Chain A
Amino acid sequence: EAGVAQSPRYKIIEKRQSVAFWCNPISGHATLYWYQQILGQGPKLLIQFQNNGVVDDSQLPKDRFSAERLKGVDSTLKIQPAKLEDSAVYLCASSFPGGSTEAFFGQGTRLTVV
């Protein structure tokens, strides 16, 4: 079974530039999550989709972050403009809907803002 695919694996940008991350979830998974993980901390949920609808984006900094999930499959997360404090690993995960199902995570994208 193919896992959650993310790209790119690494990205280095200057502050005030924009960047986009891509995620392809496991086939059939209606729920998709984006997390931000700063070094030394646990993953922080940024946004959760159910199909192509947003379930929770309460911790997404909407002045600079945006995410979409067209057609309820792939998803992109964008940062514009980036700040130094956005340096982190961005993780995508997917699952079947419900609280008793496991989520599968991708390898993540490591973003460095200089």
Chain B
Amino acid sequence: DAKTTQPPSMDCAEGRAANLPCNHSTISGNEYVYWYRQIHSQGPQYIIHGLKNNETNEMASLIITEDRKSSTLILPHATLRDTAVYYCIVRVAGANSKLTFGKGITLSVRP
């Protein structure tokens, strides 16, 4: 699976949009981009995933560049409860596909 690169940390103000970047320059055509987050002392939680097109759900939006070498997770109105470690993962399509975590980015939402 292709590797991902994320900055180690970032912060944003409560109520503002949080834009979390991820680089995956070696991604292949059959690999999905996944985002999970992990709030302190809990198991990782799925947020969103996409292949080529931008995706939106009730939690977030995922913007994937046209060349698919990078993506951005957008939390439109960050709250204090969004403070967590966010993992960007590239995952190949297929029945035995692995889910490999990196170090993630720590998002701190300040009041």
Contacts and interface: CB of A to CB of B under 8 A. Distances in A.
Interface of A: 4, 33, 35, 41-45, 48, 50, 55-56, 91, 93, 97-100, 102-108
Given A44-B101, A93-B99, A99 B44 contact: no
A99 B93 contact: yes
Interface of B: 30-32, 34, 42-46, 49, 51, 85, 87, 91-104
A104 B47 CA distance: 11
Given A43-B44, A91-B43, A98-B93, A103 B98 contact: no
Contact of A107 (B43, B85, B94, B102): B43
Given A33-B99, A43-B101, A99-B32, 5 more contacts: A41-B103, A42-B102, A99-B31, A100-B49, A108-B42
B43 A106 contact: yes
Contacts of B96: 48, 50, 55-56, 97
B103 A103 contact: no
